[in-house]
Structure 1
């Protein structure tokens, strides 16, 4: 196996290959994130200056000059301290810098990063930044076989390059079906917490359903659609009762589009 690639076998015995993100791409993403935070910090301090300047013309007994300062300090602390944690968990392991560079954080088992893992790896970021200029983190990423810093080791995470969804010049029969129905992944709203509960098992179910969609007679397809809905809808907080076969099909096909970007990819 190439040292820049990692093969992972999921609990469902599916082998997935990831391209590890090295020091260069991770440093580029980090620099972008730091520039964004710096811009935010400067704008916040400028806003504080104008607020304080406006308050200076007011009678002293109508103002509390320390209140804007205290609020600004709290805002800066929350944003700078929670930026990496929040983006990595709620945006699929991607900060804004990582999105630009095309890398993401995932669990070592190939699944999306968890809330606890995101918290741990970013808490350890304090140690990785020692003694200065992220020196320890740089050394760890450079010398570790999987390009891990200390936070990744403790949290059980890896940073990999994004994998693009397969694009075919000619539409497949199911893609034509979806296009004819006018469906898109935006037709189905699933909150982030619920979506994270969907794993490889559910993806294999929906992809199998899609692959057989045009291969079985209509009556058998209706039975298959109902079975799939009974399995997947409750997990996603959806009601089955009152839905026609056509409506259930549309929902399942939209779900396929939504999950495809996460699970159907190539290096």
Structure 2
């Protein structure tokens, strides 16, 4: 059976199973992004073509910026997704499961030149075909991974909550684990949030959870808010 998941241990000591994006998903996202890039370049040409030599220079600059910085800006500021990745439902993250940063995004996108060689992304295609995680050369160099974007947590878990003091004293490691959990919930599915909350159960008021008054995830979010000093 083809294994399309990647096991990653997060700083809290918990192992996550990430759904790796396949060659087909990545190729479709790339084609959509290319069409968008060509459209942006066409618009730039229409705007600057009447400005003579200055316009010619602006067209060349626009082509460079669109081709090289369109994916970087979207990956960094748009939760690891370009418009093409958004449509397909995939996103770029670091190998350790953390959000992609400037350096990683710049490296992986600049190395598209190597992936293109010797023609039409042949090296990139071969690299993904022989990689368990469907990584192209830029991903290996930058330490990044393309995964399917997981369903966001429900709105009732995102609403403003009051801080809640933990029922028992917590060590620094335990406090860090709870705060780290709260910071990651917006990027995880409901099932993953509940799974991780189960590992942190010993610090919760189980009576409230059994009565259905409050879920484990919400209670942990409240404790994290109290730990940050916002009670």
> In 2, Cα distance between the equivalents of 1:69 and 1:47?
11
So what's the TM-score if we normalise by structure 2? 0.70
Q: 1:214 to 1:79 in 2, by over 3 A?
A: farther
Q: Residue 68 and residue 214 in structure 1: after superposition, are their counterparts in 2 closer, same or farther (change >3 A)?
A: farther
State the shift of 1:213 in Å: 11
SS state at 1:35 partner:
helix
Q: How does 1:210-221 map to 2 (within 5 A)?
A: 215=208
| TM-aligned CA distance change 1:45 to 1:156, over 3 Å | same
CA distance in 1, matches of 2:87, 2:222: 41
**Map of 1:4 onto structure 2:** 4
Q: 1:40 to 1:227 in 2, by over 3 A?
A: closer
Q: 1:232 maps to what in 2?
A: 228
User: Are residues 1:204 and 2:181 paired?
Assistant: yes
Could you say if the C-alpha distance between residues 141 and 11 of structure 1 is closer, same or farther in structure 2, counting changes exceeding 3 Å? Answer: same
Per-residue CA distance 1:122-147 (angstroms, 9 max, x = gap) = 11111111112111111111111111
| Equivalent-residue separation in structure 2 for 1:82 and 1:98 (angstroms) | 15
Unaligned runs of 5+ in 2: 162-175, 184-196, 210-219
The residue that corresponds to 2:40 in the other structure is 40
Q: Report if the CA contact (8 A) 1:22-1:142 is conserved.
A: no
Alpha-carbon displacement from aligned partner over 1:143-187 (angstroms, at most 9, x marks no partner) = 1111111111111111111111355xxx9xxx3995xxxx59xxx
Give the RMSD, CA atoms, in angstroms: 3.3
In the TM superposition, what is the alpha-carbon distance from 1:24 to its structure 2 partner?
Answer: 0.2
Could you tell me which residue of structure 2 aligns to residue 106 of structure 1? Answer: 93
Q: Find the residue that maps to 1:17 and give its secondary structure.
A: strand
Cα pair distance change 1:72/1:12, threshold 3 Å: same
The change in CA–CA distance for 1:48 and 1:130 in structure 2 (over 3 A counts) is: same
Matched residue, 1:187 = none
Contact between 2:29 and 2:87, CA under 8 Å: does it hold in 1?
yes
- Aligned partner of 2:152 in structure 1 is 165
* Contact in 1 for aligned 2:75/2:100 (Cα 8 Å): yes
Distance in 1 of aligned mates of 2:222 and 2:177: 21
Query: Do the aligned partners of 2:182 and 2:221 also contact (CA within 8 Å) in 1?
Result: no
Structure 1 gap ranges (5+)? 53-64, 185-198, 217-223, 234-239, 241-247, 249-267
Higher Rg: 1
Residues 64-83 of structure 1 correspond to what in structure 2 (within 5 A)? 65-83=52-70
For 2:224 and 2:33, the matched residues in 1 are separated by: 42
Q: CA deviation at 1:107?
A: 0.9
Using the alignment, how far apart are the partners of 1:176 and 1:34 within structure 2?
A: 36
**d(CA) in 2 for partners of 1:7, 1:32:** 29
**TM-score computed with the length of structure 1 as normaliser:** 0.61
Counterpart-to-counterpart distance in 2, 1:205 and 1:80: 36
User: Does structure 1 retain, via aligned residues, the 8 Å contact 2:90–2:146?
Assistant: yes
